[in-house]
Structure 1
């Protein structure tokens, strides 16, 4: 083999390493089918037995005999945690010197734009993830894979996927299934996501794109009645769909297909 051929083989091998997906997942529990879901980020409340899947904030307790998904802000901040992130100000994304905000939720985006910052953020988010596993959750959702689309050009899809790989590894190491949150059309199974939690997919005609990649492992959350009806008509027989209020108030009565 000539030197030129050996060099080409080496370059190809390095390129393939860069495309290697996250390691094979740990022994995680898949999401059950044939049951309903509630999205309880505003506060944990009791639901009837037919609601077998619950998504709760990482600081809440999982419910016995349900499939519990731990909600973790992985790509954006929680509004009430601004003091925490001001103490780590260089990890908050800036545009022209000002924090980049997801206007829909009033959350700052985290700066995942360099490998060093991704590692530092993964250490912080990883500790929260480990706690989810220790508390008895079955899965974790990292909000939101599509945050880069609201970064005013400061972040790229490649940044988001590189960071997601770190979080997936940490989630699997904690014994948790890991959910892709939003970003329709991207097949997150390629990098190790086990399920998907998607918002307003019926509104934007995106539900089928997630189902194509994740099969029955998709949770659908809708915030408008018309979209909820559309999601139920198309996917209610095979997937958990819930109608929630945008404020996610504990007193709100969710509806199921």
Structure 2
């Protein structure tokens, strides 16, 4: 889940010297996996994360992370034709009233709001009911041709969800989500949930993080980097030239974004 600090967003102040540099060739960064194997993004691969606005397919990034519902099969095909890998953003831990399948989730499964308009935490203990609902969403991602899934809101147990969720409940659910993606031949990323990285690094193919430099948490992603798995990272606040050297040293795939996650970005390179 994007940090609640987004509600207090202030304009970014970037130095002119931090203008994005051209990235290495896409095919060198993100080669196709051997037949029958899932895509495994490596540390340092470049990426673009766009969840709002008209999708800009011209950004020179090896990996695109885009909204699974709003991105069309044709747009995914365009990205893949240009050599990009594609990640399907799907909320798996929170209900969203604006999604076409919102009515399929029982009202008794909906908890407290998660800080974003129209979103409420899910009771992730109800695995038998959630499995077909999330599975259907992942079927959509696969049918559209995505290479991977970014499941969001994967740390309800650490928030005021409205349910007595435990760390063990979260581990069971997150592993279910990973299995559902893998069963469909797609890679899957661990979104935030830093406390459970040691237990989950073996179940996930990459990680997605927001603001680990700002909160001094990036060292917690060492297990992913040591396993040769990419950590896709964004910062919203601060100046790129101040946090970028540390992100490079940590081998993160880093960029600066605005809170609304439109097409704009500044690459840490």
Q: Which TM-score applies when normalising by structure 2?
A: 0.73
Matched residue SS, 1:213: helix
Deviation at 1:83, TM superposition (A): 7.9
How many residues are matched? 219
Any conservation in 2 of the 1:91–1:121 contact (CA below 8 Å)?
A: no
Alpha-carbon distance between aligned partners in 2 of 1:190 and 1:73, rounded to the nearest angstrom: 20
CA distance 1:225–1:104, change in 2 (3 Å): farther
Match of 1:244 in 2: 257
Question: Is the contact made by 1:189 and 1:213 (CA closer than 8 Å) also made in structure 2?
Answer: no
Query: Residue by residue, what CA displacement relative to the aligned partner does 1:159-178 show, whole Å, maximum 9, x if unpaired?
Result: 11111111111100111111
Q: Please list, as runs of the form range in 1=range in 2, the aligned pairs for 1:15-26 lying within 5 A after superposition.
A: none
What's the CA shift string for 1:113-162, capped at 9, x where partnerless? Answer: 3xxx2121121111111221222211111112212211256212211111
> In 2, are the aligned partners of 1:223 and 1:244 still within 8 Å (CA)?
yes
Question: 2:162 aligned with 1:184, yes or no?
Answer: no
Q: Is residue 2:213 matched to residue 1:195?
A: no
Partner of 1:236, secondary structure, is: helix
Number of the residue aligned with 1:121 = 130
Question: Greater Rg, structure 1 or structure 2?
Answer: 1
Q: 1: CA distance between counterparts of 2:117 and 2:167?
A: 21
1:165 paired residue number? 175
Task: Return 5+ residue gaps in structure 1 as ranges.
Answer: 1-25, 94-99
- Corresponding residue of 2:14: none
Report the CA distance shift for 1:46/1:111 in structure 2 as closer, same or farther (over 3 A): same
Q: Unaligned stretches of 5+ in structure 2?
A: 1-35
Secondary structure of 2:94 counterpart: coil
Q: Does 1:220 align with 2:267?
A: no
Which SS does the other structure have where 1:242 is aligned? strand
Aligned twin of 2:222: 211
Q: Kindly state the Cα deviation for residue 200 of structure 1 after the two structures are TM-superposed.
A: 1.1
Superposition CA RMSD, Å: 2.4
Q: What is the deviation of 1:229?
A: 4.1
1:66 and 1:42 mapped to 2: Cα distance?
Answer: 19
Correspondence for 1:73: 91
Partners of 1:198 and 1:165 in 2: CA distance: 18
Distance 1:190 1:38 in 2: 23
More displaced stretch, 127-136 vs 198-207: 127-136
Q: How far, CA to CA, are the matches of 2:241 and 2:117 in structure 1?
A: 24
The aligned residue for residue 132 of structure 1 is 141
Q: 2:158 & 2:102 partners in 1: Cα distance?
A: 24
| CA displacement 1:5-48 (0-9 Å, x = unmatched) | xxxxxxxxxxxxxxxxxxxxx82111155542111111421233
Asked whether the equivalents of residues 224 and 231 of structure 2 are also in contact (C-alpha less than 8 Å), the reply is no
CA distance in 2: counterparts of 1:88 and 1:214, whole angstroms? 39
**C-alpha deviations, 1:162-211, integer Å up to 9, x for none?**
11111111100111111000011422545511110011111111112113
SS in 2 for 1:109: strand
User: Mean Cα displacement is larger for which, 168-177 or 72-81?
Assistant: 72-81
